[in-house]
Amino acid sequence: MKTKDQIESIHQKALGTLDSDRKSLERLLTEYSDFPIIPFIHRVLDWRCDKNKSQWLWEFAHQAFDLSPLLFLGGFTSFVSNCLLDDSSFKIDWRKPELNGHQLIWLPGGEFKTMLTTKEDPDSRPLLLWAGDDGTSNVDILMEAMDLLEQRELERLRKAQELE
Q: What digits encode the pLDDT tens for the residues 34-70?
A: 999 999 999 999 999 999 999 999 999 999 999 999 9
Q: What digits encode the pLDDT tens for the residues 61-105?
A: 999 999 999 999 999 999 999 999 998 999 999 999 888 888 888
Total domains in the chain come to 1
Mean pLDDT of the chain: 93
Q: Does residue 105 contact residue 99 with C-beta atoms inside 8 Å?
A: yes
Burial of 35 from C-beta contacts in 10 A (0-12 / 13-18 / 19+): middle
Instruction: Please give the model's pTM, rounded to 2 decimal places.
Output: 0.90
Domain that holds residue 16: 3-163
